[in-house]
């Protein structure tokens, strides 16, 4: 009887982390989560844009905004936004290829799920707190 | 405690899902992504542990008093009347002032404190609290800290605290709705008959029998008893009683 009890306890403790994470992933999947892109993914996206289509042309495929910014006063009604005398001419903020790639990726990811939830940060629960490892108790020092 | 953490997350995720699927809170396209949903992001969850009352004059087993975290209970000297401790999971333990509900673990139910951080459309906050407190186990929101500007850092693994990386800024798109970051401290009640087993009539040898087997490990139950003997039920005391001389086995804990 004692051997059986010991076997069950050991088996339970060894199998619990994997079964716990499997249950958590299953619950998390019901939330239809998505994750923000990482810096590496953005870098790959930039390479895919600049390395193939953007090189030397100044325009990305399906991109209506030339790299370098819109002409000053573009889209404004005539007479509107006329700078006062002596003011420096302004230009619309230009999007770098990095910004464009990042924005595309961010939009794709935000539409991929219903909410952001990082699986790694939720699954990495401390199953064995440091104090318990140190004292052999349930986080409690005698 | 990981199992308790799983129960907390189970109820929390269910509340998040119900809020996100609420049609009255969705702005436009039902097939849209994060931008049209009220719940934007779950940053992290953290279990604080079981909440037990400090006994007067007995700061109890050398419980460390940690600095309060954001939204957590204010630190008070050990031994103050009504002060509570969280133990069992949080690595260094949290001691603090009693919560507004004045609830702590007792022979009838266990009180578990936890916290989580979300990014949400503020218009959906009340609905989310309603979903959290009416579904699953008995939850009560104790405190909330609302920050108008959501953090942009990735959450570090396990703790839900920011790892700090400016390169990940602007990687999250929440749509055109206003959003707030909310850190919520809440408590969950677990009936003792469920977690520690529903005792039945005593056996012929005087040992307790259980109509439902205890889920709480005997070691943790023993920790509760060391903390405060009044937290244990009669069946718990019988369960933890040392075996009679000559009897095989070290614990009366029935196998799962």
ipTM, interface predicted TM-score of the complex: 0.71
pLDDT by residue (tens digit) across B125-164? 999 999 999 987 889 998 888 887 766 544 433 333 344 4
Give which of A37, A109, A122, A120 is closest to B13, Cα–Cα: A122
Q: pLDDT category, A120, cuts 50, 70, 90?
A: low
Domain residues for the domain of A118 are 34-54+94-127
Q: How many folded domains does chain A comprise?
A: 1
pLDDT tens string B28-41: 666 678 888 889 89
CA A43 to each of CA A50, B9, B183: distance values in angstroms, whole numbers, following the listed order: 10, 34, 32
Burial A103-116 (b: 16+ CB within 10 A, else e): ebbbeebbbebbbb
A53 pLDDT above the threshold of 70: no
What count of residues does chain B have?
A: 256
Hey, are the CB atoms on A36 and B9 less than 8 Å from each other? no
Q: Confirm if B172 and B150 have CB atoms less than 8 A apart.
A: yes
Q: Is residue A40 part of a domain?
A: yes
Q: Given this model, what pLDDT does residue B7 score?
A: 85
- Bridge partners (DSSP) of residue B113 are B49, B187
Say whether A121 and B44 touch across the interface (CB within 8 A).
Answer: yes
Burial of B230 (0-12, 13-18, 19+ CB in 10 A): exposed
Residue B67 in tokens:
């600095």
| Chain center to CA of A53 | 25
Report CB contact under 8 Å: B16, A137: no
| Orientation of helix B2-20 relative to helix B125-134, angle to 10° | 130
**B34·A4 Cβ contact <8 A:** no
Cβ–Cβ gap A37/B157 under 8 Å: no
Provide CB contacts within 8 A for B96, sequence distance 6+: B68, B72, B73, B74, B75, B76, B83, B84, B86
CA distance B76 to chain A (A): 19
How many beta-carbon pairs under 8 angstroms link A with B?
Answer: 152
Q: Which residues does residue B78 pair with via DSSP β-bridges, in sequence order? A: none
The residues, any chain, with a CB within 8 Å of residue A18's CB and separated by 6 or more, are: none
Most confident of A25-29, A43-47, A133-137, B251-255: A25-29
Distance (Å, whole) CA A21 – CA A18: 5
Give the C-alpha separation, B45 to B34, whole Å.
Answer: 20
The token pair at B125 is 């906050």
Domain regions of chain B by residue span:
2-191, 198-256
Nearest-CA distance A111 → chain B (Å)? 4
Which positions in chain B touch A111 (Cβ < 8 Å)?
32-35
Chain A nearest CA to B16, separation (Å)? 8
Q: Which residues of A touch B7 (CB under 8 A)?
A: none
DSSP calls for B142-158: EEEEEESS---SPBPTT
DSSP codes of every residue in A49-80: IIIIIITTTS--TT--S-TT-PPTTTTPPTTT
Phi-psi category of residue B175: left, alpha or beta, with phi > 0 → left and psi -120 to 50 → alpha: left
Is A97's pLDDT higher than 80? no
Nearest residue to B40 via CA among B184, B178, B186, B185: B178
Is the pTM above the cut of 0.95?
no
Low-confidence stretches of chain B (pLDDT beneath 70): 25-31, 55-83, 87-98, 150-170, 206, 242-256
Give A73's contacts (C-beta < 8 A, 6+ positions apart). Answer: A81
CA distance B166 to A29: 28
- Total length of chain A: 142
Q: Which of B8, B115, B171, B174 to mutate to test the interface with A (most CBs of A within 10 A)?
A: B171
């Amino acid at each position: 009887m004692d051997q059986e009890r010991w076997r069950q306890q050991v088996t339970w403790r060894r199998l619990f982390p994997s079964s716990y994470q499997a249950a958590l992933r299953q619950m998390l999947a019901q939330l239809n989560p998505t994750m923000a892109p990482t810096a590496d993914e953005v870098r790959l996206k930039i390479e895919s844009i600049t390395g193939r289509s953007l090189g030397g042309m100044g325009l990305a495929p399906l991109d209506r905004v030339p790299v370098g910014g819109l002409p000053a006063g573009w889209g404004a009604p005539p007479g509107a936004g006329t700078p006062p005398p002596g003011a420096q001419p302004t230009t619309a903020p230009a999007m770098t290829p990095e910004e464009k790639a990042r924005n595309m990726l961010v939009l794709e990811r935000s539409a991929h799920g219903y909410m952001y939830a990082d699986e790694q940060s939720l699954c990495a629960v401390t199953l064995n707190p440091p104090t318990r490892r140190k004292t052999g108790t349930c986080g409690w020092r005698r | 405690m990981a199992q308790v953490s799983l129960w907390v997350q189970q109820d929390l995720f269910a509340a998040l899902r119900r809020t996100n699927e609420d049609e009255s809170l969705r702005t436009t396209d039902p097939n849209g992504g994060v931008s049209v949903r009220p719940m934007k992001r779950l940053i992290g969850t953290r279990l604080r542990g079981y909440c037990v009352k400090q006994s007067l004059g007995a700061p109890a087993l050398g419980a460390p008093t940690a600095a309060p975290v954001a939204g957590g209970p204010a630190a008070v000297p050990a031994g103050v009347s009504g002060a509570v401790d969280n133990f069992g999971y949080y690595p260094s333990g949290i001691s603090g002032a009693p919560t507004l509900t004045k609830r702590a673990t007792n022979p009838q139910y266990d009180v578990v404190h936890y916290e989580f951080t979300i990014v949400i459309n503020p218009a959906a906050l009340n609905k989310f609290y309603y979903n959290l407190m009416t579904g699953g186990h008995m939850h009560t929101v104790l405190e909330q800290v609302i920050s108008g500007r959501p953090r942009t850092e990735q959450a570090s693994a396990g703790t839900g605290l920011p790892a700090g990386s400016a390169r990940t800024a602007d990687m999250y798109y929440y749509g055109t709705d206003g959003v707030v970051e909310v850190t919520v401290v809440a408590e969950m009640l677990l009936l003792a008959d469920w977690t520690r087993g529903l005792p039945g009539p005593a056996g012929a040898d005087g040992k307790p029998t259980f109509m439902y087997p205890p889920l709480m490990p005997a070691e943790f139950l023993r920790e509760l008893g060391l903390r405060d003997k009044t937290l244990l039920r009669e069946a718990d005391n019988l369960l933890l009683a040392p075996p009679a001389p000559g009897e095989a086995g070290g614990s009366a804990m029935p196998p799962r």
